[in-house]
Structure 1
Amino acid sequence: MLSSIADRVSRVVQRYLPDAFVIAVLLTLFVFIAGFVMNPQEPITLFKSFGDGFWVYLAFTMQMVLLLLTGMVLAAVPVVKRGLESIASLANTPAKAYVLTFVVSALAYYINWGLAVVVGAIFVREVGKRNQQAHFPLLVAAAYSPTVLYTAGLSSSIGLTVATKDHFLADVMGIIPTSQTIFHPSTLIIFAVLFITMPIVICLMAPKNNIKPYQVKEVTSKSEATLQKADTPALKLEQTPILGIVTGAVGLIYVINEFINGKDLDLNIINLLFLSLGLIMHRSLGNYGNAFKEAVGSTSPIILQFPFYAGIIAMLTSSGLGQAIIDAMASVANKETFDVFTYWSAGIVNILAPSGGGQWALQGPLQVPAGVKLGVDPATIAMAVGWGDAWTNLIQPFWALPILSIVGLHIRHIMGYCFLLAIWVGAVTTILLFFLY
């Protein structure tokens, strides 16, 4: 029955869901109109906040672009490809393909969400190539859906923020160790329940007919075929392995030194690590440059759309719309239901402002004081916001753009399955939050 429902929902979504860029523009107009209705006397404030906020994500956009490109180029190295192929070969049935893709991606998300963006996308391509009986859009949904688990992982933006000395809400909630957030038994239980049940739901959604196998063009390095014979000093510099290996070694030494000195695994470290390993394994600068050029086209949706969401977040803050959503939820909550309403409000806000750190900066100062007045544990408030933020990532195109860019699918191909998963995740997490938090 679930397979039939999933097929119908998927067909409806593919018919009516517009392109992710259109969605970003429509959300921009919606927030602007809603903000104008709330503050009709100050429309210029919305224009200014959108224009100022439009450029806030430039550094983050470049980080994501480099993350995808360096990851894809690293995956084109023969030894890395063989490793991925070896693991992917275990998925010799459709059910194994869906489960293995979910598990590999989920483990990567637990370690680091930035790492998972590349690992999940590259792995799903390898599985799709080897299992033509698996429905590729559902495979991609299986690789993307563990995004709901990242808030309980080692790179949880909110969990790590509130554990940091002198964080911006320290005066209100104090310093909260990770033992009370991401490593708390309640958080681990929610993580385990979703980790076990989500792949089951994915398998139950698998279509029986109209299977669409992997048909995406693989990104590979054609450098050996395209580089000319090194018969000039210039070409010898391009093709010598010395420059690539030495340059990669410099970056690798920096990364190792940062880890030795206690540096956290962030986007900058991952990017430099991928870049350094790619240079070493591709050996020559010419090889690496060619592989990089072949991969670069897939990043265009990110470059185009991320600035629009930065503008949306700025308008959401300046217009008071974000605060209105949060206040409406908090006003009907009591001590027992506050975390549940916090979860729901975070899910709504995340659709408009899809950024864990940005959402905590918007929602934390409003949610925490209200919860503290009711006697709610600040640690559970923080995690409720985190779970809500991760929950609606399933139906927000923003975080799906990287994996879709790599595999070459459209948002409408996977959103029907993600929508049904969002219903399951929302229901299960709501129940667990009520009884555990």
Structure 2
Amino acid sequence: MEFQAQKKVDDEGARESLFTRLANVLSNWSHKYVPDAFVIAVLLTLFVLLIGVFMHPSEPMSIIKSWGDGFWAYLAFTMQMVLLMVTGMTLASVPFLNKGLQSIARLANTPQKAYILTFLISAFAYYINWGLAVVVGAIMAKEVASKNAYSHFPLLVAAAYAPTALYSAGLSSSIGLTVATSDHFLMKQMGVIPTSQTIFSPSTIIIFLVLLVTMPIIILLMAPKKNIVAYKGQPQPSNTIVQPQNVTIAERLEWTPFLGIVLGAIGVMYCGYEFLHGRSLDLNIINIFFLSLGLLLHGSLNNFAKGFEEATQTISPLILQFPFYAGIIGVLGSSGLGANIIEWMASIASKDNFDLFTYWSAGLVNLLAPSGGGQWALQGPLQVPAGLKLGVDPATIAMAVGWGDAWTNLIQPFWALPLLGVLGLKIKDIMGYCFILCIWTGIVTSLLMLFLY
């Protein structure tokens, strides 16, 4: 992979907007001062440990124990998240879907179209499944950049990642799906909340559409007119594997499409049966559905296994860092730091603005614990009773936490790791652009929540 600076216009003649100049300043700052994502995870771990010990100076070992115990507290959820991402990425590697993305990329014949197209395709993928969106965003950024030398590659990658702020309104919303699952851990307090009241509610859809329209405008305003960094790599290769000649009977079983089609069809029929009998979307059903589609479309078990294997390689940073953030969640819970943040904001809120303070507190907590499900496990038991006491709709509480969790994902590198790994960039390469988008998203969502929830 090679990057090369190009200029669309002469430096002296280029007039850049205020947003572009601000983005350049923030980008230069992040290149100097933003460390690797794993370093950030370790620094956050040490920070919460120090705060925890400071709050409980007589019990330092209990704080350390809560960190170590927290490492393994969310193994089941971690496995669900890993499968959600890997099955989505494996599905996106189906050859005809990959070629379809390449064909769409040809529509981006100007830098402006390149940024908008990358954002919109990635947003569509995020709405369907954020695991799918990782590889779709990566493919789109690569393919669009390879066909448009004057598009700024770091901004294209930021455009591919920006729709992470919308994922809580999509079909893989971890909080929305969790509260729709029977026997979830807060069912006694809030009951089972169907997705019609969370991710499919009119308020959620309006916020989603407003951000969908305005975020690409901000991206266009940040686009540089000089010192363009163009991507000079090769397009994403197809994952199709050619069947060898003179195969054995055992190898025929690996290459025959029959087994994948049959098992995939069974999985799809299971999902259809569950939906017809009133089951709402949840993490398990989403995983089975994407796994089944991948088996159906890959052509053979060999192709599917190869795509699955390649997908797992891109999420290794996520697997490495997730236990650290789980440990942070453990410390936030045992030390009372997370509770103090949440309870302080809840104490100054009223029924009319409880959702807004919930959104802000969720965004703050997400910087320390970037996991929708993990954050809900921490914040839900505190936020739900406080909101119910004020008469706030529990579905509103869940979505406010979801929006806050997604909001600061823009400046928390955890979920950007797979995308950056595929594209060969560092978090500091896109942080300046993501910071501006984070500010915009926070302002717009806060204002809309005041009127809609």
Would the TM-score normalized by the shorter structure come out above 0.5?
yes
Which residue of structure 2 lines up, in the alignment, with residue 184 of structure 1? 201
The correspondence for 2:44, drawn from 19, 22, 27, is 27
| Rounded Cα–Cα distance in structure 1 between residues aligned with 2:20 and 2:42 | 32
The one-character-per-residue Cα deviations of 1:33-74 (angstroms, maximum 9, x if unpaired) are 111111122222222222222234555555665666666566
Question: Over the residues paired in the alignment, what is the CA RMSD in angstroms?
Answer: 2.8
- Measured at CA, do residues 359 and 74 of structure 1 come closer, stay the same or move farther in structure 2, by a change above 3 Å? closer
SS at match of 1:262: helix
2:9 corresponds in structure 1 to none
- Assess if the C-alpha contact under 8 Å between 1:221 and 1:291 holds in 2: no
In the other structure, the counterpart of 1:252 is: 264
CA distance in 1, matches of 2:438, 2:291: 34
C-alpha distance in structure 2 between counterparts of 1:162 and 1:291, whole Å = 31
Q: Distance in 1 between matches of 2:24 and 2:419?
A: 22
Pair 1:218–1:65, CA change in 2 (3 A): farther
Structure 2 distance, partners of 1:182, 1:244, is: 39
Are 2:276 and 1:276 aligned?
A: no
The structure with the largest helix share of the pair is 1
Structure 1 spans left out of the alignment, 5+ residues: none
Partner of 1:375: 391
Structure 1 counterpart of 2:321: 305
1:353 is matched with which residue? 369
Residues 1:377 and 1:13: Cα distance change in structure 2 (over 3 Å): same
C-alpha spacing 1:52/1:216, structure 2 compared with 1 (3 Å): farther
Alignment of 1:113 onto 2:125: no
Q: Relative to structure 1, is the Cα distance of residues 224 and 378 closer, same or farther in structure 2, using a 3 angstrom cutoff? A: closer
Q: Secondary structure at the match of 2:230?
A: coil
* 1:158–1:70 CA distance, 2 compared to 1 (3 A): closer
Q: Distance in 2 between matches of 1:109 and 1:222?
A: 22
Distance 1:158 1:69 in 2: 19
Check whether the contact 2:295–2:304 (CA below 8 A) recurs between aligned residues.
no
Structure 1 residues 49 and 215, CA gap change in structure 2 (3 angstroms): farther
- Which letter maps to 2:265? I
Corresponding position: 1:102 with 2:114 = no
1:378, CA displacement in angstroms? 2.6
The match for 2:8 is none
Q: Which amino acid aligns with 2:347?
A: S
Q: 1:364: how far off? A: 1.5
How far apart, in 1, do the equivalents of 2:452 and 2:349 lie?
A: 17
Q: What CA distance in whole angstroms lies between the structure 2 residues aligned with 1:216 and 1:295? A: 20
Which residue type is aligned with residue 199 of structure 2?
A: I
Partner of residue 398 from structure 1, selected from 414, 421, 430 = 414
Alpha-carbon distance in 2 for matches of 1:215, 1:304: 30
TM-score between the two structures when normalised by the length of structure 2: 0.85
Where does the alignment leave 5 or more consecutive residues of structure 2 unmatched? 1-17, 276-280
Q: Distance in 2 between matches of 1:97 and 1:44?
A: 53
**How far has the Cα of 1:176 moved from its partner?**
3.5
Length, aligned pairs only = 429
Partner Cα separation in structure 2 for residue 84 and residue 405 of structure 1: 20
Aligned to 2:273: 261
* In structure 1, C-alpha distance between the alignment counterparts of 2:143 and 2:72, rounded to whole Å: 36
TM-score, with structure 1 as normaliser: 0.88
Q: How does 1:65-144 map to 2 (within 5 A)?
A: 78-144=95-161
Question: Which whole-Å CA distance do the structure 2 matches of 1:107 and 1:277 have between them?
Answer: 22
Which residue type is aligned with residue 104 of structure 1? I
Deviation of 1:169 (Å): 2.8
Kindly tell me: are residues 368 and 81 of structure 1, through their superposed partners in 2, closer, same or farther at Cα, counting changes over 3 Å?
Answer: closer
Farther off after superposition, 335-344 or 73-82:
73-82
Shift of 1:231: 6.0
